[in-house]
Chains A and B, each alone.
Chain A
Amino acid sequence: MARKSSKQISLPMGLPASRLRAECDPAKLGFKTTKTLKPTHEFIGQDRAIDAIRLSAEIDHKDFNLYVLGREGTGRHTAVAQLLSQAAERRPTPCDWIYVNNFDTPHKPHAIKLRPGVGSALKTAMQGLVDDLAIEIPALFDSEEYQTQRRAIEEELGQKHEEPIADFAERAQAEGMALLRTPMGFMLSAIKDGKPIQPDVYQALPEDQRDEIDAKIARFQKQLTEILKQGPQLEKEHRQRVEALNAAMAERSVSARVEEVETQFADTPSVTTYLDRVRADMISNAELFLVADGQANNGPFPDVVRKHHQDAIFDRYAINIMVSHETGPGLAPIVREDLPSLGNLTGRIEHVSEMGTLATNFTLIKPGALHRANGGYLVLDAHRLLSEPYAWDALKRCLQSRSISITSLAERLSFSSTTTLEPHPIPLDVRVVLVGDRRLHMLLTLLDPEFGQLFKIQADFEDDLPRTAGNTRALARIVAGYAHKENLRPLTADAVAALLDHAVRLADDTKKLTLGLGALTDVMREADFYAGRHTHDLISDDDIRAAIHQAELRASRIKELMQEAVTRNTILIDTDGRTVGQVNGLSVVGIGTHHFGRPSRITARVRMGTGKLIDIEREVELGGPLHSKGVLILGSYLASHYALDVPVSLQASLVFEQSYGGVDGDSASSAELYALLSALSGVPVRQGLAVTGSVNQNGEVQAIGGVNEKIEGFFDICHARGLTGDQGVLIPASNVDHLMLRRDVVEAAEAGRFRVVPIKTIDQGIEVLTGTAAGKRRKDGDFPASSINGLVEAKLRGFAQVRRRFGDQTPRQNNGQTG
């Protein structure tokens, strides 16, 4: 294309150095070191989130559970811990909860609610009760008093049984009958010559004598039958009377001891009710204490100091404390569960191996975080909670039912076939605080309808706060507070200023300070280390900068490799000269938490066509949707700005050269448009400049992210090759407020060796890039012929005319062929 002569526009100076980096003035901080500064642990810039946490912590209504969302390092956990602690001090100490044996249905243990501190006292009292009775009851049953009474019963009932047998034996003997024993029972026989009659002798007897013997035997058999039938009844009576005696004896001792415990807990009706059941069970199972006595093996210690309550047979009288609190001023618990598995959350039922089988009882019920937090607050990490199988489901179930039911994972999955328990659910009054990120909150809101019902409050933590003088000083006090809390060296005012500059850089906005305090405190701790290494008493600004620099250095391996590839021309990036249809675009590469900018060569090629704009990145599926959107906007821009009276007869292709990892975002759309305009106009682009910014259909250049990294990325390449003074970056004018560039970039700009040029429109940008006027439509509707826009429009009209001529020729050729 013929190049029209045009007046060359010189390269603008770009922004002054003061606009490239808005440093904090240490003198305005009002202190020399943080040592003299009153530390604060208040929260700044998080009023919305703080109010939400306070509301959730103090409101009594159910389901006002809290989801705390925000970025890592914004102080979410600290704020939650601090605010919940304050709220907990105003709430009463919750009750103790224990599990005790259900004597009627052992697999359904009873839960008992007790005043704070009573659980431990009751446990100790029950252990003492068992120990006392384990000594007293055996002694009682060994006493002569008991033995005499028992023998009297046996004597009476034994005689009651013996007398009829004795009478029977005497009668039988008197009538010449003998009682014989067989393996199966007794047999009666007539006596002949002092011996039981033999069958042959019997057969030889006259019939009347045989009949007489038979009748006699039948009579005695009947009598013996009647006597023996009384046996079981007498045994039953014996058993009942001995049991009654045992109960009466045990009752005296048990009642006396249980009464002592009842007196201790007289003001707790639930305990007295339980103790009534204990008394009844101990009386009816007094033999347990005798068995324990028989197993005595206390080594060298006397039996009286033996801890009988540790014997498994007395587990039935144990107290299983699920949660116990100290008596004293009110303080609700704040429980943080770092491993919120199903078992750790709702508690679990353990088993022990007994004779090769798994057995359990109520003493093996273990409390979970919900038990410990009952009456207070439970803080959980949302991501960890959702990662644990069935934990989220169980938490919701407990919150909905307002009770803690213990169900094991094995039981849920029907993997367990051993005996298990169904403990009575414990009423639940807890405020759950989930700490997570925004994405998880959004997903839960969208996908789990119950989430919104149960977690009615969200505390959304700000990422940054306005950079006002007040906020700056407040952040300085927080820095001082952290140094004090973490026992770091005090910071000089210069160090604090450097740290606040870093906070501005992290916020990506000179009008804001980051609230990612985690990142700032990381820098402080590392700086404290460097200060210590240099045996300084204070952390200086050099220590702060060293910490920041070292952190960047540690993460810059990939960045340096990429820069090396550019400087060695492995990746082709021109930083001087002029080229048609080629622009240096800028992108940001993220490696973990570290980001850096890198230039990319964007080229455009045009020819006559049917109005098709080919985005090669998109064609090969290396371009993301946002990038494709930007490219489509370019097409629309061209179609709506040039040669409006003819069809768009352009075929253009755009490509990010040497890009193999995919491109997304629209921040390169202005660079792509410049490349297209250069290709259409045939005017070369200054290669010492790089471009960033998105564009809309009106040709306005719009703000992008990562502006600092992009400028520094191109600066590093130019610096490595040698700064010429003609190099610089075109940025959207709306990004000027976001500039917080490195000091070396600012110094280069100040020296006139590098420039940052704010751009508002495409026309403005193309003028800077080409040094040629963009040109405005005149009254006659045309652009100046030598302007970029004029050249572009002429090119497009030319394509349209060629296309029309081509269209006219083609039917004729076709007709000739067919005719």
Chain B
Amino acid sequence: MTEERTPHSMRILVGAGSFADAAAALRLVERLPSRFRKGLGGVLVEEVATLATCQMPHQRIVMLSGATIIPPGLDQLRTLMKADARAFRKSLARAAFPVGADCVLAQDKGELVGTALRAAASWDILVIGYRQVHKIPGKIVVLEMVDQSSQTMKDVSEALSHQLSTNRVVFSVGSRAEDKVDPPSAGEVRFARFEDALAALTRTHAQAVLIDLSDGPVRTRGDLARLVEAARCPVLVFGTSAADARLEHSTQIPPAAARDQGGAPP
């Protein structure tokens, strides 16, 4: 069953490995105009690699303040995840309340990007959280292929830019024959290759990055994971239904059975 939606009526899923990452994503979501927030969901992913690394000898965690601490044990980590899940659920509800949106939270294990992508198959936008290292506002970066501009992504990025009173910059990947005649417009930076864009993004102080999987240049889970690490800020992923078809849809929010019956998320 499909829901009738206005052109900008969207359902947003926030995927994060911890509440710190999710909170940064939710701060962005809350700044979106209410018309963009039809439904809100969250998926908290217990990253297996992180759990394993915590067991390494001599390992330390560097906190945002710069202080180092010994990693928690498995039990402690699970307790922390439970606390994060509670906080995540509360924040989701708080973000959904003003606009009367539905909200739902699920927990899963695995690798963050892949798990979140699988969960977001039926959502309009996936926001992959990344904690705010500092409080200095950064730019809104739109990463797209030349001539593959998405109107929805444009609307959302402009709304965010306006709400956050920050600059919006477009990273265009690819080239056109007429580029030699028409240079890029203001607020647009062109890159020949995706890797070049990633390298530039690494050194860009961004507050959010927006991409559309259906238009590229990010097309694979691996590209998306690299993008998240390079951006070091929440990434808003559009066109999640067009993600790698080989991805196993083991995690769906709401569960497949509920969706098949046309039920609303709990």
Task: Give a binary string over A198-215; 1 marks a CB under 8 Å from any B CB, 0 the rest.
Answer: 110010000000000010
Interface residues in B65-80 (C-beta closer than 8 Å to A): 65-69, 71-72, 77, 80
The answer for the CA separation of A158 and B203 in the assembled complex, in Å, is 10
Given contacts A179-B229, A181-B17, A235-B135, are A187 and B62 in contact (CB under 8 A)? yes
- B62 CB contact (under 8 Å) in A158, A165, A185: A185
Closest chain A residue, CB of each to CB of B80: A183
Q: Are A185 and B52 in touch, CB under 8 angstroms?
A: no
Could you pull out 20 A-B pairs where Cβ atoms are within 8 angstroms? A155-B167, A157-B136, A158-B138, A161-B205, A181-B21, A182-B71, A186-B62, A187-B59, A187-B61, A196-B49, A197-B53, A217-B59, A221-B60, A221-B68, A224-B62, A225-B67, A225-B68, A228-B62, A228-B66, A232-B65
CB contacts (< 8 Å) of A184 on chain B: these are 61, 63, 69, 72, 80
Chain B residues with CB below 8 A from A155, complex form: 139, 167, 205
Q: Give chain A residues whose Cβ lies under 8 Å from the Cβ of B57.
A: 202, 214
Within 8 A of A (CB), among B151-186: 165-167
Known contacts A187-B50, A187-B61; A163/B203 CB under 8 A: yes
Q: Which residues of A contact B50 (CB under 8 A)?
A: 180-182, 187
Interface assignment of B9: CB less than 8 Å from any CB of chain A: no
Decide yes or no whether A154 CB sits under 8 A from chain B: yes
Any B CB within 8 A of the CB of A231: yes
Alpha-carbon distance between A155 and B140 when the two chains are bound, in angstroms? 12
The 0/1 profile, CB within 8 Å of A marked 1, for residues 39-56 of chain B is 000000001011011111
Which residue of chain A lies nearest to B51 when distances are taken between CB atoms in the complex?
Answer: A182
- Among A166, A196, A235, the residue within 8 A (CB) of B202 is A166
Which residues of chain B have C-beta atoms less than 8 A from A82's C-beta?
none
A162 to B230, CA, bound (A): 11
Q: Is the CB of B53 within 8 A of A229?
A: no
Interface string of B117-134 (1 = CB under 8 A from A): 000000000000011011
Q: Is the CB of A235 within 8 A of B136?
A: yes
A641 close to chain B: CB less than 8 A: no
* Additional pairs, 19, CB under 8 Å, beyond known A150-B165, A187-B54, A229-B66: A151-B165, A151-B166, A155-B205, A158-B137, A159-B205, A162-B203, A182-B18, A183-B77, A184-B61, A185-B62, A187-B62, A189-B56, A197-B56, A199-B56, A202-B56, A214-B57, A214-B58, A228-B65, A238-B136
| Count, A-B residue pairs, CB within 8 A | 138
A188 to B202, CA, bound (A): 18
Given A158-B136, A217-B58, check contact A231 B64 (CB 8 Å): yes
Asked if A454 is at the interface (CB within 8 A of a chain B CB), the reply is no
Are the CB atoms of A186 and B61 closer together than 8 Å? yes
Interchain nearest-CB distance for B132 vs A (Å): 10
**Cα of A162 to Cα of B67 in the assembled complex, Å:** 19
A186 CA / B66 CA spacing, docked (Å) = 10
CB distance from A718 to the nearest CB of B (A): 100
Chain A positions 126 through 158: 1 when the CB is less than 8 Å from some CB of chain B, otherwise 0: 000000000000000000000100110011011
In the bound assembly, the distance between CA atoms of A162 and B56 in angstroms comes to: 29
Q: Which of A183, A189, A225, A226 interacts with B81 by CB under 8 Å?
A: A183
* Closest residue on chain B to residue A163 by CB atoms: B203
In the assembled complex, B232 has its CB within 8 A of some CB on chain A = yes
Which residue of the partner chain A has the closest CB to B83?
A183
Q: In the complex, are the beta carbons of B229 and A169 less than 8 A apart?
A: yes
Please tell me if B104 contacts chain A, counting CB pairs below 8 Å. Answer: no
Interface status of B20 (Cβ within 8 A of chain A): yes
User: A158 near B205 (CB under 8 angstroms)?
Assistant: yes
**How many Å lie between the Cα of A169 and that of B130 in the bound state?**
15
Q: Name B204's closest neighbour in chain A (CB-CB).
A: A162
Q: Which residues of the partner chain A approach B63 to less than 8 Å between Cβ atoms?
A: 184-186, 228
Is A560 on the interface with B (CB-CB < 8 A)? no
User: Which residues of chain B are within 8 angstroms of A383 by Cβ–Cβ distance?
Assistant: none
A165 vs B133: C-alpha distance when bound (angstroms): 10
Contacting pair B203 A185 (CB below 8 A): no
B21 touching A199 by the CB < 8 A rule? no
> For the complex, is B19 an interface residue (Cβ under 8 Å from A)?
yes
A610 to B68, CA, bound (A): 118
CB-CB under 8 A from A159, the residues of chain B are: 203, 205
**Residues in B neighbouring A166, C-beta threshold 8 A:** 202-203
Q: At the interface, yes or no: B188 with Cβ under 8 Å from chain A?
A: no
Chain A 661-688 interface mask (CB, 8 Å, partner B; 1/0) = 0000000000000000000000000000
